[in-house]
Amino acid sequence: MARPREFDETAAVEKAMHAFWEHGYEATSTQDLCTATGLGRSSVYNTFTSKRALFQRSLAHYTGTQLGKRQAILDGPGTAAERLAAVLDQAVEDDVESRRRGCLVVNTLAELGLPDDEVGAALRNDTERNLAMFAECVREGVLDGSLGDGLDPAAVAEFLLGTISGLRVMARRGTSRDSMHAVADIALKAIVAG
C-alpha cells in the first residue's frame, strides 16, 4: 500500500516556480527543485513525473496569478487610461519587489523560445489572454475618451504588452525604479487622448 502524500502540492509548485523564476528552466537542477520544495527526488518525480511537468505546473501557476492581478486592475474603477497607468505601475513595482527577476514568461521566452509542447501552448495562451484584456481596455478608452480616437485596439495591445516585456528586461539589468516609471509614462502618453 502506497503511503499518502504528506505535503501541500500547491505550495510545492509555488516554491518550484520561484526556483525556475530565479534560475531559468535549464539552470534549475532536480536538486535545486528538491531544495526549494523540501521534497526528496522520488517525491518530486512521483508527484510531478518530470522536471518539465513541474515547470509546466509552475508556469501555469505563475501566469494564472499574474493574469488575475492584471485583470483585477483592468476591471477596476477609473477611466481606461487610469487603469492602464495602474497596470504599467504595477509591472514596475512587481519587478522591483521580485528582486528584479523579471517575468517568468518573458524569461522563458528568451530562454526556450516558443517550444511546440505544453510550455509553448501555455506561453501562447498567456500572450493571447493579455492581448485580449488590453484590447478590450483600449476599446473602452476610445469610448470613454481617455485614449486617443482612432486607436487600433489590437496594435495598442501589442504595444502595451511589448512595453511591459521591455520593463521586465529593464528590471533584470538593474534599471532604476524612476527610469522604469519614466518609460511607462512615455508609453501611456503615446496613447492617451489629448
Query: For residue 60, with 0-12 CB atoms within 10 Å meaning exposed, 13-18 middle and 19 or more buried, which class applies?
Result: middle
Q: Is the pLDDT of residue 108 over 90?
A: yes
Instruction: For residue 2, name the pLDDT band (cuts at 50, 70, 90).
Output: low
Answer yes or no: is 67 within a domain.
yes
| Average pLDDT over the chain, rounded to an integer | 94
CATH of the domain at 81: 1.10.357.10
65 vs 47: CA distance, rounded Å: 22
Here the cell at position 96 is 522591483
Count how many domains the chain has.
Answer: 1
Q: Which domain holds residue 161?
A: 59-189
- Residue whose grid cell is 513595482: 93
Answer yes or no: is 3 within a domain.
no
Mean pLDDT (whole number) for 171-192: 96
Instruction: For residue 41, name the pLDDT band (cuts at 50, 70, 90).
Output: very high
Stated as kind and residue range, the H or E segment containing 186 is helix 177-189
Answer yes or no: is 122 within a domain.
yes
Task: Output the pLDDT for position 96.
Answer: 87
Answer yes or no: is 33 within a domain.
no
- Could you tell me if residue 138 is left (phi over 0), alpha (psi between -120 and 50 degrees) or otherwise beta? alpha
Taking alpha carbons only, the member of 16, 10, 170 closest to residue 95 is: 170
Answer yes or no: is 46 within a domain.
no
Answer yes or no: is 49 within a domain.
no
Taking alpha carbons only, the member of 140, 130, 126 closest to residue 76 is: 140
Cβ contact 80:94 at 8 Å: no
Answer yes or no: is 164 within a domain.
yes
